[in-house]
Structure 1
């Protein structure tokens, strides 16, 4: 199953920016502990925000394919395109080892590795985040200007594997994606998609990400426009084809600057306790519970999810229907903001139902939602659509589940015992 994390992650981006700005206002005595604690609190806040705006943020957090985790983690582009900033504050150890490759050398490496043409307005990012550098510019091969960039970083734990895993097509309507294991044990992903998975703009984003066998990531990204966002398309496709992207990221020329990257310290538990862990990190139990609650006559044709989130694509013989559920504990503090005018059920559960158009701008998409908050703070939100996903045309007149059925699923006692 491809990675079910999201393409755009505005909540994580905002969290990282907030942490960075806050960190610049004072000098803590234990920077690593501060950051670890801040990220733990931030993850709670992200989860709460994710549950608060189910479709938008769950899509953002559940379909990471390429732009959110990949772009934010390596190239620091963000939605504002700020080339000189990274997305999340981090411990700031004193770098060790040889003097880093000069910025001019990074630009020279990228220039040498590109096919015939000119690299205009090149720049580098040597941010305060340890173990990260990048170089970018506008490549002109005579067929239209195109932004191109390469990020170099040390891999960070198991998340590195997600960087070289193709995203889930339910969330990201890309054209092609291939995963390959190379002879030396490195892993390579080559992705051909779009800057916006809902295609609200036709800017193409082609990407190659290499995870080396000794723990480095080389991430190259290119566009068919002179900028990642907000620029007119200058050509039909980005300048480098998939084979050229592979050649770019697998070149030995990156080895010297990679070896110079300082190591990152091991994360320490935040003050007051160990880091939070999830009993259902892949959303398997969430999906199993959802499947067990489906009415008869529905065939599951696809499924996926992550922590606290699951989705199914179901078929009742009348067309595919996408169904998603988000389960989040500890939401009592948000009851007033999220459930104004809600119905209170006999057991104290708050219930709010809505029928509205889909949130991705695709005409004809219907989204029916049952949103519940139990007295113990557990929020269960389930939505059904009259399409196989949120970015494709409708496949049927209404969702496959009625509002009565959605409400029955959301209020089921099974959510209290999922493990």
Structure 2
């Protein structure tokens, strides 16, 4: 499922590629990528980023809690022992993709039946998505397994409570019953194990399964709870049956220089002009206050925001426009929005509605939701519009049940021909 965009499985895959855990929020990194999308969750569907996004290289949610009883859980199926690879002695013969799939399937508890399998080599390790069924509904489990690349398995760079260094020197991170930020109702259990030799295993279990809708692959809720607990995921990762993929071969060719931004030859647009355009495309009948702007030269983007009120409470509305060096030309790839559509003019458009702003307990306290729309034009232009049910994206409680402007209306506003995109000329 390589094209699983902006969902937790893909975030976790990308996160484990570098194998260097960070301490940022886990999902808040979705769509913001590169210098052109440098701010926030909504900048590339929005995101800035499940919980970086959701994720970071260790897939760590800052609000997640690690319970000591999960550090040494019972076995998931058959009893296992500390493996030779867990002490750094990796099997001489690397595992094939088929062998990785077989190992994961063998280690699943007997109550789980495999309904669908998707495995692939991402160039740095093996990944797998399995749809499981125990009679209570389908549940997705995602695996990313990678060979050692020389990193230290210590927990010194982690926030307290998210990671433990175990007696054998391995590092274990556990996330339990965490909300998947961009898919209402979906929760997951996640573990990330780095063995003493540097090999890593990332496993996640969801109370949802993958679906394809309007050209986009996402995870939707299919059951009350994930099929596998964090303890069971840890037991699977601890098994001595694992053999690790071969190390990737380093390229001897120099990387090609990045192409110049499509906006390099375009004239700059005053950020105040962007603000005025935002006001002009707002639905009629709204009270507008507190206009603000960001970006403008020498930055390569313009952003503007206002508070609007339709009589049901204040709602923060923001626009972000830029030219992207790496253009998005189809759905189902990194950077493509949720609920994605490839339009006749070649643009890639999508939306997301009532998306929780936080992935942990802050969401229950503050209740901030966002509607977002985004369009990637084939010439590199990119625009995203967001409306919140609060007076700010973060740091304040909700002021109304839902955002003032619907996702569908935001998409209509984003396609207005009045927008002028800022170049860097």
Give the TM bin, normalised by the shorter chain: 0.3 to 0.5
Higher relative contact order (CA 8 A, sep 6+): 2
TM-score (norm. length: structure 2): 0.45
User: Which protein has the bigger helix share?
Assistant: 1
